[in-house]
C-alpha cells in the first residue's frame, strides 16, 4: 500500500491540483475584505471530442484583480460558475483550466483531460454583463 505522502505528493496530476488549489487560496486571500465585484451568470458545457465530460472541475482564473470562479460538470458536461458562495463570475478576462480525475483512488490519478487544458491551459474566456454561455469542446482525450 502506498504511503500517504506518496499518494499526495508524488503524482504529477495531484501536484497540478495542489498548484491550482494554492493559487486559488492566494487569490482568495488577496481579495479578502473587499466588496464583491459586479458578477455575471456563467454556464456552459465541457466536451472532449464531442462527448460530454462528467465530473470535471472548471476553474476560471482572472487576468485581473478578482477571485477565481469555479464549477463542476454534471453527467451532460454542463457547469455553472460560482464566485465563492455566490452564483456567477466577475466581469473580465480569464484563463480557464479544466481538470478531471478518475473516481477510483487505486487507479493512477492522471487527468482525463490533456494538460493543455489543465495546469498548462491555453483556454481563455471573457465574461461580460448579463448571462454568458461558454462551451469548451476539448480535443485529444488521453488514453
The answer to whether the Cα torsion of 129, 63, 122, 49 is positive or negative is negative
> Residue 104: its pLDDT value, please?
61
Which three-class secondary structure state does DSSP give residue 56?
coil
Q: Which secondary structure element, helix H or strand E, spans residue 57, and what is its range?
A: strand 57-62
| 40-68 average pLDDT score | 92
Please, are residues 103 and 11 in contact by the beta-carbon 8 Å criterion? no
Higher pLDDT, 102 or 43: 43
pTM of the predicted model, to two decimals? 0.72
Q: What is the CA radius of gyration of the chain?
A: 15
31-51 exposure pattern, b = at least 16 Cβ within 10 A, e = fewer: beeeeebebbebbbbbbbeee
Residue matched to cell numbers 498548484: 19
Q: Which secondary structure element, helix H or strand E, spans residue 136, and what is its range?
A: strand 136-138
Task: Return d(Cα 110, Cα 23) in angstroms, integer.
Answer: 20
Between the ranges 2-11, 91-100, 106-115, where is the mean pLDDT highest? 91-100
| 70-76 average pLDDT score | 95
* pLDDT tens column, 84-108: 999 999 999 999 999 987 666 665 5
The burial of 139, by beta-carbon neighbours within 10 Å (0-12 exposed, 13-18 middle, 19 or more buried), is given as exposed
Higher pLDDT, 71 or 13: 71
Amino acid at each position: 500500500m502506498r504511503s500517504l505522502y506518496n499518494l499526495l505528493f508524488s503524482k504529477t496530476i495531484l501536484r497540478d491540483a495542489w498548484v491550482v488549489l494554492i493559487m486559488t487560496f492566494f487569490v482568495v486571500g488577496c481579495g479578502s475584505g473587499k466588496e464583491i465585484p459586479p458578477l455575471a451568470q456563467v454556464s456552459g458545457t465541457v466536451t472532449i471530442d464531442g462527448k460530454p465530460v462528467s465530473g470535471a472541475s472548471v476553474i476560471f482564473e482572472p487576468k485581473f484583480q478578482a477571485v477565481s470562479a469555479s464549477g463542476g460538470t454534471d453527467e451532460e458536461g454542463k457547469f455553472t460558475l460560482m464566485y465563492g458562495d455566490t452564483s456567477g463570475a466577475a466581469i473580465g478576462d480569464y484563463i480557464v483550466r479544466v481538470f478531471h480525475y478518475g473516481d477510483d483512488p487505486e487507479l493512477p490519478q492522471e487527468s482525463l483531460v490533456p494538460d493543455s487544458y489543465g495546469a498548462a491551459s491555453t483556454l481563455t474566456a471573457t465574461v461580460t454583463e448579463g448571462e454568458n454561455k461558454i462551451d469548451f469542446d476539448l480535443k485529444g482525450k488521453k488514453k
